[in-house]
Amino acid sequence: MSDMNTAMVEKYRNDFLKEVVANVEEGHWVKMCMQCGVCSGSCPLGPHWAHPPQEIFMMIRAGKRDEVLSSDSMWMCTSCYNCIVRCPRELPITHIMHGLATYAKRLGLAPRNQPTSQFSEIFWNNMMKRGRVNELKLGLSLYFKDGFGQGVKNALANQKLGMNMMKAKRMSPAEFFGGHGVEDTSGLQKMIKKAEEIELARLNANK
C-alpha cells in the first residue's frame, strides 16, 4: 500500500464517492448516473468485465473502495465510445474509466499482471524515450514481457504480422538502432515532467 493510498483512506474514510469526485478525472459525473444500464448493454467487451460501468458507478456510491480500485474492469475499456454516445445523461463514461484506472495505478491498487495495464506502461516508456512510438521495440518489449522463452514463442507466432508490417513500411528493422523521434526530445521530456509534477501536487494537496 502506497503512502498516498493510506492518506486517502484516512482523509475520505467512508465517503468513496467524495474521493472519486475530488481525485478522479471526470469523477464528478459519477453522481449523475441514473442506472439505466445502456452503457453496460452497449459495451462490446461487456461480457468479459467483472463489473460493467453501471455497476462500477453504483459500487462507488456504495463505498466499495477496494473492490473498485483493484478491479480489472476499467482496464478492459477499449475506448470505443459506444457508451458515451448512447448515455442518456451524456456521462463521459470512457474518460471516467480511464480516470479510475489512472487513480488506482497511482495508489498502487491496480491489479498486477493485467495485460492492458502492462501494455500501457510499456507504451508510455517506449514513447517517452524519443517522443514517438518505436513500433519494433514496442512489439519486442511486449513479446518478451513474460521472459525470454515465451518471447521467442510470441515472436514466432506473430512472424507473418511483423513481415507484413515491414512490407507496408509500418515498421522498420532500422528502428532497432534508435529509431525516429521528435526534434527536441529533452524539451518534450521536461514538459511531461512538469505536467506530472503539477498533477502530483494537485493530488497531494487533496490528501
Partner 1 sequence: MTEVVATNETILVVGGGISGMTAALEAAETGKRVVLVEKRPFLGGRVSQLYKYFPKLCHPTCGQEINQRRIKMNPNITVLTMAEVTGLEGEPGAYTATVKLTPRYVNDNCTACGECAKVVEAEFDNEFDYGMSRHKGAYLPHVMAHPMQYVLDPRIIGTGDAQKAKDACKYDAIDLDMEERETQFPCGAVIWATGWKPYDAARIQPYGYDRFENVITNVEFERMADPKGPTGGKIIRPSDGKEAKNIAFIQCAGSRDRNHLFHCSRICCMASLKQTHYVVDAYEDAQVTIYYIDIRAIDRFEDFYQNVRAMDNVGFVKSKVANIITDKDGNPICRGVDTEGYHRYENTHDLVVLATGMEPSVSKSDFPVDIVINREGFIEPDPANGGVFAAGSASDALDVNRAVQHATGAALKAIQVVNRVAGAEG
Among 3, 15, 31, 37, binds partner 1 (CB under 8 A): 37
Q: Is 55 in the site for partner 1 (CB under 8 A)?
A: yes
2, 34, 150, 195: residue in contact with partner 1 (rule CB under 8 A): 34
Write each residue from 81 to 100 as x if it is in contact with partner 1 (CB under 8 A), else as -, in one continuous string.
----xx-xxx----------
Sign of the alpha-carbon dihedral angle for 141, 157, 110, 136? positive
DSSP states of 137-199: HHHHHHHGGG-HHHHHHHHHHTHHHHHHHHHTTSS-GGGGSS----S-HHHHHHHHHHHHHHH
Burial 187-198, CB ≥16 within 10 A → b, else e: ebeeeeeeeeee
Contacts of 81 (CB under 8 A, 6+ apart): 94
User: What is the smallest separation between the CB atom of 61 and partner 1, expressed in angstroms?
Assistant: 13
- C-alpha span between 174 and 178 (Å, rounded): 8
Task: Give the type of residue at 171.
Answer: M
Residues that bind partner 1 (rule: CB under 8 A) add up to a total of 19
Q: Give the residue with the Cβ less far from partner 1, 89 or 193.
A: 89
Among the listed residues 4, 20, 54, 97, the single contact to partner 1 using CB under 8 A: 54
With CB under 8 A as the contact rule, the residue among 1, 10, 14, 47 that binds partner 1 is: 47
Q: Is 38 in the site for partner 1 (CB under 8 A)?
A: yes
**Binding range to partner 1, per CB under 8 A, among 50-58, 69-77, 100-108, 148-156:** 50-58
Give the residues lining the site for partner 1 (CB under 8 A).
34-38, 40-42, 46-47, 51-52, 54-55, 85-86, 88-90
